[in-house]
Chains A and B, each alone.
Chain A
Amino acid sequence: MTLAMTASDGWTVARRNIFRMARNPEVVIWSTIQPIMFIVLFVYVFDSIPTPGISYEEYVMAGIFAQTVMFNSALTGVGLAEDIQKGIIDRFRALPMARSAVLIGRTTSDLVNGLAQLAVMVVVGLAVGWRTSSSPLEVLAGLGLILLIAYVFSWISAAVGLSVKSVEVANSAGFVWMFPVTFVSNVFVDINQLTPAVRNIAIWNPMSAFVAAIRELFGNTSEEIPQPDVWPLQNPVLASFLWLALILAIFVPLSVRQYKKASSR
């Protein structure tokens, strides 16, 4: 199977998923309403969370960006579990197509959804008072990083969706690990204010590196909120790329392996 063939098969599958989204727009609509909800809740309900030297709106947006694309990645696994249940994966697996194409297609088309979410979040964020204070190029890099995080998390979700026995399980198993990853981190609060035990985990949480990197690229940092003295948070952008590469290196082969074993019964 050549690389060109893999890309072309992946595109054929992505195209199919995009047709599906267009015919079933509720999924995209609701997945963009969810981040609006989060922005409004956090900005107005948790406004009193102390973030010295920066408004909470500006501080928390990076966290909400990362958290939203991570939660949205659960759709990838749910979609694949649904395809297994309907026998579509069986059909694909009996075709002479690239083994990874169904996964490449799915993760790519789910990025379209991620892009819609990101656009809505930027607009709503600006409306509630979020501003960037870095160069346009850095802002673009920040938006790119968010999409890359969305894409990479899709592969984790794919592995989960292909490993479980039903759509319902894909839905709950796909989400459950996300809560500790989001809350034991710098997503919503200044990491220095966590209790020492929690903080020691949070500083090594890849999510903390991602959010620190987004804050840095958007210029949403404060001198009064120092980064803990660990390498990933001192070099968040580089650390984020390393984390993302590591996740792909584990979950792409794992997902392809699960795909080869996937079966409707």
Chain B
Amino acid sequence: MTDTIVAHELVKTYGDVRALDSLSLSVPEGTVLGLLGPNGAGKTTALRVLTTLLRPDSGSAAVAGIDVLADPDRAREVIGVSGQNAAVDEYLTGFENLDMIGRLYHLGRSKSRDRAHALLEQFQLSEAADRPAKTWSGGMRRRLDLAGALVAEPPVLFLDEPTTGLDPRSRTDLWEVIGGLVQRGTTLLLTTQYLEEAERLADDIMVIDRGTAIAQGTADELKAKVGGERLEIIARDEDDVATIVSTVSNLGSDKPDVGGRRICLPVVTGPTALMEALRRLDDKGIELNDVGLRRPTLDDVFLSLTGHAAEESEPTPTEAVT
């Protein structure tokens, strides 16, 4: 299998900030790579380099065998890009937005029109097609923006945080749409802050921090690394916290994380650990406010992989490095 998206030792600095610090990645044809990281990790910067929007200080990048830096015009013909903020023109109707993009891909007038109609249909936007996008909901605009990336049926697709800021329902809808594309063999690089999103959509996940890859693998491999589920216990009385920690600690795959009355313990098999923990705590007569299992979040991944929480990873508050 050939690699359709390749980045080799990309470096991009803004002043003292290394937005990309020798980042390399490759996405085999027809697969999905999820670039997972917090704000400021360098996800968007990497995507901007690969989509010809930004020149790196050094390194190389290629899509579908075309050198992005040497031949950006040809690269643009094979890629579709959907950005973080739905880049639709709000004064244009949904149809006009897509029709314009078709023309700018030089599909010709009638093919542009046909593609616009077909995509509006496919994304269930036909009813609103002739209303200015200004009147659309956030989820609809995001779908329109994604449709814009597909106008020329590009073999390579880049999605930058496709569901950030959407409500859960719109997010699930969009996941289904993206899942459908992937089934048709599109090679996709997507960035996300949500482990759940990467798990749902990506074959392979790369965790990046401070412009460099810190882990890569399937969702299961990553979870094995970060310890699968979390057992979360909230004590009723803060004085009990130390006892609870000593009672349940050996059920975990890693050290517990304690904050206030909250104890968070990475566990390998959730239900077993949960039952055992409850049995032991009950034996000791310790009362709890809440207890449950939850899936690891980006924060947990970060804590396990880097030892620091996701929010702290941003070296400076400059927006330039997102």
Contacts and interface: CB of A to CB of B under 8 A. Distances in A.
Contacts of A48: none
Interface in A229-265: 263-265
Nearest to A88: B87
Interface in B138-152: 148
Interface stretch (B99-107, B199-207, B285-293): B99-107
Interface in B82-105: 83-87, 89-92, 96, 100-101, 103-105
Contact of B81 (A15, A24, A91): A91
Given A19-B91, A24-B91, A94 B132 contact: no
A264 B101 CA distance: 19
Q: List the 5 shortest-distance A-B pairs measured between CB atoms, nearest first.
A: A87-B87, A96-B76, A91-B87, A20-B91, A94-B81
27 contacts: A5-B106, A9-B104, A12-B104, A16-B89, A16-B96, A19-B91, A20-B92, A23-B91, A87-B83, A87-B84, A87-B85, A87-B87, A88-B89, A90-B53, A90-B81, A90-B83, A91-B87, A91-B101, A92-B104, A95-B101, A95-B104, A95-B105, A96-B104, A97-B105, A263-B54, A264-B83, A265-B320
B319 interface: yes
For A20, A92, A96, which residue has the most chain B Cβ atoms within 10 angstroms? A96
Interface of B: 44, 48, 51-54, 73-74, 76-77, 79, 81, 83-87, 89-92, 96, 100-101, 103-106, 132, 148, 319-320, 322
Given A5-B106, A88-B87, A96-B73, 12 more contacts: A12-B103, A12-B104, A20-B89, A86-B85, A86-B89, A88-B89, A90-B81, A91-B81, A94-B79, A265-B319, A265-B320, A265-B322
A1 interface: yes
A16 B95 CA distance: 12
Contacts of A131: none
A94 B148 contact: no
A93 interface: yes
Nearest to A89: B87
Interface string A93-110: 111110001000000000
A1 B73 contact: yes
B44 to A, nearest CB: 8
Contacts of A19: 91-92, 96
B73 to A, nearest CB: 6
Nearest to A101: B104
Contacts of A92: 104
Contact of B148 (A9, A15, A23, A91): A91
Given A5-B106, A16-B89, A88-B87, A93 B53 contact: yes
Contacts of A20: 89, 91-92
Contacts of B86: 87
Contact of A96 (B44, B48, B106): B106
